[in-house]
């Protein structure tokens, strides 16, 4: 039985990011890059997963609290990648098998690649196997130096000769190592190089000197092993991740009018024949049905949308559920725990919070509906407000099926409007309105005859 142990290097400061946030916590496709690396690590079902943390290690550990079974080692100070891996020695004491080494800043790696790495590593009985790629712009990466086709050493950009800098094959920073000789060999690495660091890449030259088997596995698509060292690379990688997701959606029958300006998070699902216009952002655990139309500049987070729903321009939906056939916006705001029923309509400048709008109900203009349960086919007039907050507590409003709320009404909660009841426009409703009744609560109109003419006449005139 050959155990697999994953070690992830995540102690570096990420100086080039110029950030207060540790590099590995910066999001890629809406998810901290370290989470992506941990997901791909988990796909190997390893016996152990160890993280080497250092710079702002508290922040990294806190961010990963929801994950169980991780081992942590602190690298302080951070003296290079070989020194980082050495910190895993106590965590792997008495273990056997292979170590798969991942970098916290290489977030696009695919599990297929890791499986291919392990397969090759085991079948060739290598002491070390390096994942490499050929790239057009190798700048910044360690270069793969071969003799007669065999990997002999890896040289870092800053230590490379002009000829070595021409080499397009690069080190991904992803490796498999046989565990048994690893930690003894790491102790043989020195720091005589341009950065004065202990380079893990020097292990290859050392193993070659000991006549150990050193192998490579080359990925075809170099994008997946891209490392992130700067904000510019972060943006590039994010673009690639988005593009990949967008391609998947289009292949599944979703129309993206302009993929370049469409942001869809990794866990978002969209049904076929849905049309997504430019500037749309779909995040978190969002699920959108089929044949929907999402107009330009809509943001939807953690929401579930049925089929044939129209979301018009400039809407924000967070934690909402919208049933099939409904229409939302433009300029609507659906806040958490909002449920919009089948074929219901939410129009411009309407905000819903913790509110259920029944099937066929309409709130078309300028309303705030909070902590309310609104029945089927209710009509909410323009400017209706549920006054749900008394300064201390929130109270609920119930509007039963088929009721009609006249424009510019305030419903002072807790309050109930019965089935089929009417509320006259401009009312401040403080008491329940029985089913079928008319509730009217506003100042009585007084018409003062001839008032306008008298106002125009100058005072004191004849």
Give catalytic residue positions. Answer: 365
C-alpha span between 340 and 294 (Å, rounded): 16
User: Do residues 131 and 226 make contact, with C-beta atoms less than 8 angstroms apart?
Assistant: no
Residue 80 near which of ligand UD1, Ca ion, none (CB within 5-8 Å, type-dependent) = ligand UD1
- Provide the CB-side half-sphere exposure for 38 (13 A, CA): 24
Count of beta carbons in the 10 Å neighbourhood of residue 445: 5
Q: How many CA atoms lie within 13 A of 416 on its CB side?
A: 7
Task: Provide the β-strand partners of residue 103.
Answer: 9
The nearer residue to ligand UD1, 142 or 358, going by C-beta atoms, is 142
Q: 381-420: which residues touch ligand UD1 (CB under 6 A)?
A: none
Q: Considering only 64-72, 76-84, 374-382, 404-412, which stretch makes contact with ligand UD1 by CB under 6 A?
A: 76-84
Q: In whole angstroms, how close is the CB of 38 to Ca ion at the nearest point?
A: 17
- Residue of the chain from 30, 97, 173, 341 that contacts ligand UD1 (CB under 6 A): 173
Number of residues lying near Ca ion (CB under 5 A): 3
Q: Closer to ligand UD1 by CB, 144 or 399: give it.
A: 144
Cis link prior to 225 (omega < 30° from 0)? Answer: no
- Residue from 57, 171, 222, 286 binding ligand UD1 (CB under 6 A): 171
| C-beta nearest to Ca ion: residue | 227
Give the residue closest to ligand UD1 by C-beta.
142
Cis before residue 306, ω within 30 degrees of 0? no
Tell me how far, at minimum, the Cβ of 373 lies from ligand UD1, in Å: 51
Question: Before 120, cis peptide (omega within 30)?
Answer: no
Binding test (CB under 6 A) with ligand UD1, winner from 29, 30, 46, 104? 104
Q: Which of 4, 6, 7, 10 binds ligand UD1 (CB under 6 A)?
A: 10
Q: How many residues bind ligand UD1 (CB under 6 A)?
A: 29
Nearer to Ca ion, 30 or 227 (CB): 227
The DSSP line for 176-224 is EEEHHHHHHHHTT----STT----TTHHHHHHHHTT--EEEEE-S-GGG
Nearer to ligand UD1, 229 or 364 (CB): 229
Sole window of 177-185, 199-207, 374-382, 406-414 interacting with ligand UD1 (rule: CB under 6 A): 199-207
35 binds Ca ion (CB under 5 A): no
> Which residue stretch of 48-56, 190-198, 229-237, 253-261 sits at the interface with Ca ion (rule: CB under 5 A)?
229-237
How far apart (Å, rounded) are the C-alpha atoms in residues 221 and 438? 69
Stretch that binds ligand UD1, among 169-177, 311-319, 402-410, 432-440 (CB under 6 A): 169-177
How far apart (Å, rounded) are the C-alpha atoms in residues 428 and 443?
10
Q: How far apart are CB 194 and Ca ion at their closest, in Å?
A: 16
Residue 429, interface with ligand UD1 (CB under 6 A)? no
Please state, in angstroms and as integers, the Cα–Cα distance from residue 212 to each residue in 39, 121, 178, following that order. 31, 13, 11
**Shortest Cβ 107–ligand UD1 spacing (Å):** 10
User: Whole-number minimum distance, CB 319 to ligand UD1, in Å?
Assistant: 34
Beta strands in 42-97 (DSSP E): 48-53, 70-74
80 CB-side CA count, 13 A: 20
Cα separation, 45 vs 47, in Å, equals 7
**Residue 282 DSSP SS3:** strand
138/402 with CB nearer ligand UD1: 138
- Interactions with ligand UD1, residue window 106-165 (CB under 6 A): 106, 141-142, 154, 156
The CA distance from 207 to 159, in Å, is 20
Cα distance between residue 324 and residue 360, in whole Å: 11
Chosen from Ca ion, ligand UD1, none, partner binding at 12 (C-beta under 5 to 8 Å by type): ligand UD1
Query: Which of 105, 156, 351, 400 forms a contact with Ca ion (CB under 5 A)?
Result: 105
Residue 221 main-chain phi, psi, to 5 deg: -95, 105
Q: Which of residues 208-247 bind ligand UD1 (CB under 6 A)?
A: 227, 229
By CB atoms closer than 10 A (0-12, 13-18, 19+), residue 255 is: middle
By C-beta, is 103 or 379 nearer to ligand UD1? 103
* Longest Cα–Cα distance in the chain: 120
Rounded CA-CA distance 167/144 in Å is 7
Binding window for Ca ion (CB under 5 A); candidates: 226-234, 302-310, 340-348, 395-403: 226-234
381 scored as a contact of Ca ion (CB under 5 A): no
Element at 155 (helix H, strand E): strand 150-155
Position 227 contacts Ca ion (CB under 5 A): yes
Could you list the residues that contact ligand UD1 (CB under 6 A)?
9-12, 52, 75, 78-81, 83-84, 103-106, 141-142, 154, 156, 170-173, 199-201, 227, 229
Could you list the residues that contact Ca ion (CB under 5 A)?
105, 227, 229
């Amino acid at each position: 039985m050959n155990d697999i142990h994953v070690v992830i290097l995540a102690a570096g400061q990420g100086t080039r990011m110029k950030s207060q946030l540790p590099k590995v916590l910066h999001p890629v496709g809406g998810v901290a890059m370290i989470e992506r690396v941990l997901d791909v690590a988990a796909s190997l079902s390893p016996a152990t997963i160890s993280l080497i943390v250092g710079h702002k290690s508290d922040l990294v550990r806190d961010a990963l609290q929801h994950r169980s079974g991780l081992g942590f080692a602190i690298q302080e100070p951070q003296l290079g990648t070989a020194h980082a891996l050495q910190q895993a020695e106590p965590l792997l004491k008495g273990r056997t098998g292979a170590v798969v080494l991942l970098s916290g800043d290489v977030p696009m790696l695919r599990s297929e690649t890791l499986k291919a790495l392990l397969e090759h590593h085991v079948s060739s009985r290598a002491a070390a196997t390096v994942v490499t790629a050929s790239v057009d712009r190798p700048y910044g990466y360690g270069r793969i130096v071969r003799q007669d086709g065999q990997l002999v050493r890896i040289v870092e950009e800053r230590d490379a000769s002009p000829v070595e800098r021409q080499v397009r094959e690069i080190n991904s920073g992803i490796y498999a190592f046989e565990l048994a000789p690893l930690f003894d060999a790491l102790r043989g690495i020195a720091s005589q190089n341009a950065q004065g660091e202990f380079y893990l890449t020097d292990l290859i030259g050392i193993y070659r000197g000991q006549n150990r088997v050193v192998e490579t596995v080359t990925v075809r698509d170099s994008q997946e092993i891209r490392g992130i060292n700067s904000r510019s690379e972060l943006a590039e990688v994010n673009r690639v991740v988005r593009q990949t997701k967008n391609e998947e959606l289009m292949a599944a029958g979703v129309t993206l009018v302009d993929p370049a300006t469409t942001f869809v998070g990794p866990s978002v699902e969209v049904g076929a024949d849905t049309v997504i216009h430019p500037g749309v952002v779909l995040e978190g655990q969002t699920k959108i049905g089929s044949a929907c139309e999402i107009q330009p500049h809509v943001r939807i987070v953690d929401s579930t949308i049925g089929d044939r729903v129209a979301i018009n321009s400039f809407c924000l939906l967070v934690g909402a559920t919208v049933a099939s056939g409904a229409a939302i916006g433009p300029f609507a705001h659906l806040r958490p725990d909002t449920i919009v029923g089948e074929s219901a309509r939410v129009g411009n400048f309407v905000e819903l919070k913790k509110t259920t709008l029944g099937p066929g109900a309409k709130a078309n203009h300028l309303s705030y509906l909070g902590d309310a349960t609104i029945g089927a086919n209710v009509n909410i007039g323009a400017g209706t407000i549920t006054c749900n907050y008394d300064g201390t507590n929130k109270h609920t409003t119930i509007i039963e099926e088929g009721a009609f709320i006249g424009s510019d009404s305030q419903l002072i909660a807790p309050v109930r409007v019965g089935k089929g009841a009417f509320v006259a426009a401009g009312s401040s409703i403080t008491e329940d309105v029985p089913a079928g009744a008319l509730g009217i609560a506003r100042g009585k109109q007084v018409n003062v005859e001839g008032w306008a003419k008298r106002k125009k006449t100058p005072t004191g005139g004849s």
